[in-house]
Amino acid sequence: MLKLVHDLRIENEELKSKFNKYKAEAGYWKAQHGRAIKREDEIKKENEELTAKLRLREQQLFGRKTEKRKAKTESTQESSQHSRGHQKGTPNHGRINHDHLPCQTETIDLCDADKKCDICGLPYEELGITEDSSVIELVDVRAHKRTIRRKIYKTKCNCKSGKIITAPCVPKLIPKGIIGASLWCKILVEKYYYQRPLYRLLSVLKDQGLDLAQGTITGGLKKILPFFIPVYNAIQTKCLEDRRWHADESRWSVFEETEGKVGYRWYLWVFKSTQAVIFKIASSRSSSVANCFFEKTKGGILSVDRYIAYKVIAKLNLLILAFCWAHVRRDFLSHAKEYPQQESWAFGWVELINELYHINNQRVRHEKKESAFLELDKELREKVQCMEDRFLLELKDKSLHVKSKKLLESLQNHWDGLTVFVAHPEVPMDNNAAERQLRNSIIGRKNYYGSGSVWSSELSAMLFSIFETLKLWEISPNGWLKFYLQSCAENHGKPLADIEAFLPWNMSEAQKTQVNQHWNTS
């Protein structure tokens, strides 16, 4: 009996040992299974994100730009086919008036043989009237060389002050330079306004009979840079006098090694007010550029995207930031392209943003004291509150897609800046104005890659600023530049001490018309 008990105890211990072993193994494999499931979920999530990115890149490269969604059932929709071009019933813009162009009249007559009757041979009688029509031609413009002959005189009297005198020099932008102000005007406008690479412009001039070395032009550009410094500074001062701005930035290359800078990537910044536009090319994309520009500014509203550098300005209490609704809208559109299963949800938010734009566009057409404005203002505030309530409610939904949640969290974090336009109707809902100002210079970046040196980037920023500001005031950059450079040439090739007469906001309508017409008729 004792032996049986002893054997049972031994067997019990063995069973316990095996049980503990199997239990430990079960725990191990359970943990492994849990890790495998977690790893599988992470891989699925990563795969979903990569698939979404791939879908977005394919859409960006090869997809259509339209925001319209595909119809669920094409058979239920009636497709209306429209021919391309002007549609019947819509207003026509009419013919463009070319009466301002110089006119050269040509009279076309019949030859003597055609002025006779084919049957009897008697001559036709001229009626004294003509059938008139017009053809627009482009006159071939070619460079020409001005040979300057300065006459020399000597005294014929017996006075002790007898001397030889020479007629004065013609005004030159660069002393002893061979290039006149009119040619410099063309070079600057072609390079910094029409964004044509310098080598291509020189090829065109060579085809017209003028062969210039690129080194000559580059050296000349460096010499005329100081002429634009006072104008650039005046534009910057004018820009900072305002209380509403738009700001944006984009990459720019400067192919010169500078101390403390690795690589050639610089940044083109733009600051736009209602009366002036300022460009700056800086080696950094940090907040120091914007802080330096606005350091002496007290108060105002700056329309920007959600780039973190601008948020530093808000923390320093320099300005109020108004964030861009166009960027928010793009986020939802991109989300719909990345995750087709989320398309309905994303386009629902896009429609809400569209309604917000529509109501605000109607609101700003009226004065603040008008009853129509007050009604639309009330409707707008209700719509904004409705949107806020909606994203707060959706954020509580635990089944919300991870990426969708991130979009709504970003919307919540930037809500104060996104709703600045509600209390300030003069502030646009988006920052498209700044993006439009960058467009022309971005074409230059694509055409000639950037600037070859630091001084060249400074000249680019100055001329971008001057030309875009002139466009704001509806002044021809060509005509203004011709007048300004000629005045600098008459000032013995030195920067003007007084530039007030050349600043766009100081020019009368008559002066603007004179500048614009002078270019058009020259």
Whether the Cβ atoms of residue 290 and residue 313 lie closer than 8 Å to each other: yes
Question: How many angstroms separate the CA atoms of 424 and 417, rounded?
Answer: 12
Q: Which of the 8 DSSP states describes residue 116?
A: B
Specify whether 240 is located in the same domain as 295.
yes
pLDDT at 69: 62
147 falls within a domain: no
Domain endpoint, select from 162, 191, 225: 225
**Alpha carbon 485 to chain centroid distance?**
27
Other C-beta atoms closer than 10 Å to the C-beta of 70 total 6
**506 in any annotated domain:** yes
Is 487 found in the same domain as 349? no
Q: Which of 423, 452, 475 is the last residue of a domain?
A: 423
In-domain check, residue 134: no
Which parts of the chain register pLDDT below 50?
Answer: 72-79, 521-522
CA distance 359 to 154: 81
| Virtual torsion, Cα 84, 88, 90, 92, nearest 10 deg | 80
pLDDT digits (tens, 9 = 90+) for 265-304: 999 999 999 999 999 999 999 999 999 999 888 889 999 9
Residue 330: inside a domain? yes
What total of structural domains would you count in the chain?
3
Return the pLDDT at 314. Answer: 86
Same domain, 438 and 495: yes
HSE, side-chain direction, 13 A CA sphere, residue 125? 1
Residue with tokens 């394919």: 58
Q: Please name which of 362, 465, 443, 455 lies closest in space to residue 195, comparing C-alpha atoms.
A: 443
Which residues partner with 278 through β-bridges? 271
Sign of the dihedral defined by the CA atoms of residues 186, 189, 192, 195, in that order: negative
Return the bridge partners of 254, or none: 451
| Both structure tokens of 198 | 């310098």
Residue 242 placed within a domain? yes
Helices (H) and strands (E) in the chain, counts: 17, 8
Same domain (yes/no): 467, 318: yes
Give the helix ranges, DSSP H, for 321-401: 325-338, 343-363, 371-395
Say if residues 380 and 361 touch (Cβ distance below 8 Å).
no
User: Which residues have C-beta within 8 Å of that of residue 261, sequence separation ≥ 6?
Assistant: 283
- Do 444 and 475 fall into the same domain? yes
251, 239 Cβ separation under 8 angstroms? no
What the block records as the tokens of 79 is 């497709």
Distance CA 387, CA 328 (A): 13
300 and 446 share one domain: yes
Q: Which two tokens stand for residue 331?
A: 């986020």
Residue 93 lies in a domain: no
- Are 313 and 460 in a shared domain? yes
Q: Which of 423, 445, 465 represents a domain boundary (last residue)?
A: 423
pLDDT of residue 416: 96
Check whether residue 452 and residue 491 sit in a common domain. yes
Provide the whole-model pTM.
0.81
457 and 492, same domain (yes or no): yes
pLDDT in tens, 210-240: 899 999 999 999 999 999 999 999 999 999 9
Domain assignment present for 487:
yes
Give Cα 463 to chain centroid, integer Å.
Answer: 15
Q: Are 461 and 282 in contact (CB under 8 A)?
A: no
Q: Where are the beta strands (DSSP E) in 11-84?
A: none
- Expressed in angstroms, the distance from the first to the final Cα of the chain is 130
Residue 304 included in any domain: yes
CATH of the domain at 484: 3.30.420
Look up the domain containing 191 and give its range.
181-225
C-alpha–C-alpha distance, residues 437 and 12, integer Å: 86
Token output for 397:
């939904």
Helix, strand, coil percentages in the chain from 3-state DSSP, rounded to 5: 55, 10, 35
Whether residues 439 and 294 fall in one domain: yes
What are the residues facing 279 on neighbouring strands? 270
Q: At what angle do helices 477-490 and 454-472 cross, to 10 degrees?
A: 120
Distance of alpha carbon 510 from alpha carbon 436, whole angstroms: 29
